[in-house]
């Protein structure tokens, strides 16, 4: 459902899996103007209900702000579904709405899939289960934040913009050294903005509007660099991202031994990687449903065998 | 079952969990000479069968070479069990023997728990599910290998020894840079031996016997350093270990985007960390059994919710 960057990432992942096929792409646009990379048929979103018998899993590729809160419950009443809902603070509410809809329709839903929430969530849960005495640190970047780039683009005088979230090396080093630092928002990440201004725009005013923007930038050390449209196209076309989750914990009768777990991602393409996670999650929700599961689930509820294309015996070879 | 370093690690982990209690320690030694750190009662191993009603999960803490192949199936016929069987090449055989015994007794067993196999296995499975086009690299260390230390201790003229497995920085860097190198055994790890010789021993002969030892050292670049018993006690008492699993993969229609996943552990105490994993696995096997599961399972079959002490709602807050 949807055919933006994330959906194209899912499409790629489905094509490189041996056990999945892409049956259709649903869009709210005119299907005649949407052309899929794989040649999969494009269908009006309003006609999705006609595909109940043909589709095992519907992968919802909309945004968390306005699409998914409404799309996922509606789809879960008709299909087994997967989404990448990522507004952390609203996950519990979304979970209950999707759960009710899925139970009503006798379907299974797996929400908040991707890498954060998603793989990073799995690591936070796993590390906390193994090291109950400890604390978690999550750093993001260096990578492009879509939401922050959009916020900069809305500043008057800005023609185009790209925002990179950058973890602060000193903070990361202190965590890795097991120092368990208390870190403010400002101490964990910096923000770098690359801005193509409109001709004759007041650069000082643009800079000031960005760095003082509440929620997005005012709590961070933000740098603003003005570049040309050519430089934007040449140097900032990609959508790299990444980050790491670190659990710093202790074991021993007196907590005398430090144990450090780190999980890190270095991604050349954020939407393609997120799409790959969604594809594996589609497999998992399909299998859960075939085992009789109904309702809403998260990454806390799936097994690696459910996520994997491999058989039990082949998985045991990976042990 | 058993009360060596690993069992003491499990004991610590159980004590720091809110939902577990240590009912008894079973030993093949005279129980009168075994004193637990927590004060838990010590019972002859032969009397374990009498405890079927009192024990939810039996954690088997013996070695993979001779203890577990025989202990785990026997215990699985009477209890829900967890073990840390780690002879990778024999896991499939062990799995089937334990599965048969567990099914016979109506119990559940979770085998090959720990960090490798165990957490590292989970990461290999997860990464392969998400990035089917890619390859895995596992590096161990810097850390003490018990098996290799024992092998050095058996060399004539050696009074005490400690062997460290050390990943080769150049190889790690090439993998992290996404170069997908082909690496021989020698190119991935070096081995450092610290040896306390007996008085008057032929140091040259000891060194030669170690570096040329088949399986253990002859395929590696091995260094041998002679130290005093005091230096051994002062500098090499700990049991640190660690390592990392890297999946280097690609996504995109033409595989044009590189995606790198890395999981790493830096452990001050290997047995305490492994014991912490076994404790979480004991929780998981208990929950599986309560849901009606019977037979043998691996880390491919457990959910993070089963491993965790937290409720579903608290886990969703970690998403």
pLDDT in tens, A6-50: 999 999 999 999 999 999 999 999 999 999 999 999 999 999 999
Separation of first and last alpha carbons in chain B: 36
Residues facing B167 on adjacent strands: B189
pLDDT in tens, B25-64: 999 999 999 999 999 999 999 999 999 999 999 999 999 9
Query: What is the pLDDT, as a whole number, of residue A204?
Result: 97
Size of interface A-B (CB pairs under 8 A): 212
- Which chain A residue's Cα is nearest to B247? A265
Confidence of residue A83 (pLDDT cuts 50, 70, 90): very high
- Which chain B residue's Cα is nearest to A310? B129
**Cα distance between residue A26 and residue B153, in whole Å:** 67
**Cα distance between residue A290 and residue A108, in whole Å:** 10
8 Å CB contact of A308 and B300: yes
8 Å CB contact of A260 and B265: yes
Domain boundaries, chain B: 5-116+272-318, 134-254
Domain A5-116+272-318 and domain A134-254, same fold? Reply is no
Distance of residue A72 Cα from the nearest chain B Cα, in angstroms? 17
Q: Are B240 and B143 in contact (CB under 8 A)?
A: yes
Query: What is the pLDDT, as a whole number, of residue A318?
Result: 83
Q: Which residues of B touch A15 (CB under 8 A)?
A: 253
In which element (H, E) is residue A281 found? helix A270-290
8 Å CB contact of B272 and A251: yes
DSSP string for residues in A101-144: HHHHHT-EEE-S-SBTTBHHHHHHHHHHHH-SSEEEEEEE-SEE
Confidence of residue B318 (pLDDT cuts 50, 70, 90): confident
Q: Which residues of A touch B9 (CB under 8 A)?
A: 251
Of B16, B117, B267, the CB nearest to A319: B117
Q: What mean pLDDT do residues B69-88 have? A: 96
8 Å CB contact of A276 and B251: yes
CATH architecture assigned to B134-254: 2-Layer Sandwich (3.30)
Q: Which of A89, A257, A270 to mutate to test the interface with B (most CBs of B within 10 A)?
A: A257
Of B15, B125, B273, the CB nearest to A304: B125
Q: Which residues of B touch A92 (CB under 8 A)?
A: 313, 316-317
8 Å CB contact of B16 and A258: no
Mean pLDDT of chain A: 96
What proportion of chain A, given as a percentage, has pLDDT over 90? 96
Q: Which residues of A touch B17 (CB under 8 A)?
A: 132
pLDDT at B94 over 90: yes
Residues facing A166 on adjacent strands: A190
Q: Which residues of B touch A276 (CB under 8 A)?
A: 130-131, 251, 259
- CATH H superfamily, domain B5-116+272-318: NAD(P)-binding Rossmann-like Domain (3.40.50.720)
Local structure of A163: helix, strand or coil: strand
What proportion of chain B, given as a percentage, has pLDDT over 90? 96
For residue B214, the tally of other CB atoms under 10 A from its CB is: 7
């Amino acid at each position: 459902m949807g055919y933006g960057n994330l959906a194209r990432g899912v499409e790629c992942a489905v094509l490189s899996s041996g056990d999945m096929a892409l049956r259709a792409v649903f869009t709210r646009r005119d299907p005649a103007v949407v052309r899929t990379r794989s040649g999969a048929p494009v269908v009006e979103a309003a006609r999705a209900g006609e595909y109940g018998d043909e589709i095992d899993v519907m992968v919802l590729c909309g945004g968390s702000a306005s699409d998914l809160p409404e799309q996922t419950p509606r789809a879960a009443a008709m299909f087994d579904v997967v989404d990448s809902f990522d507004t952390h603070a609203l996950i519990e509410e979304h979970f209950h709405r999707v759960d009710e809809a899925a139970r009503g329709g006798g379907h299974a839903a797996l929400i908040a899939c991707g890498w954060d929430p998603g793989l990073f969530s799995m690591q936070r849960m796993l590390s906390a289960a193994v090291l109950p005495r400890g604390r978690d640190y999550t750093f993001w970047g260096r990578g492009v934040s879509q939401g922050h780039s959009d916020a900069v683009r809305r500043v008057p005088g800005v023609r185009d913009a790209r925002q990179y979230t950058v973890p602060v090396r000193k903070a990361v080093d202190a965590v890795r050294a097991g120092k368990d630092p208390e870190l403010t928002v400002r101490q964990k990440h910096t923000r770098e903005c690359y801005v193509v201004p409109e001709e004759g725009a007041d650069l000082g005013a643009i800079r000031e509007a960005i760095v003082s923007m509440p929620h997005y930038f005012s709590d961070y050390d933000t740098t603003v660099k003005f570049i040309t449209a050519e430089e934007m196209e040449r140097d900032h076309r990609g959508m790299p991202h990444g980050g790491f989750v670190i659990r710093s914990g202790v074991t021993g009768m007196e907590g005398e031994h430090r144990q450090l777990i780190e999980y890190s991602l270095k991604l050349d393409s954020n939407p393609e990687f997120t799409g790959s996670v969604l594809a594996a999650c589609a497999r998992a929700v399909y299998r859960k449903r075939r085992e009789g599961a109904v309702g809403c689930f998260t990454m806390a509820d799936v097994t690696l065998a459910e996520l994997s294309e491999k058989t039990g015996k082949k998985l045991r070879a990976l042990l």
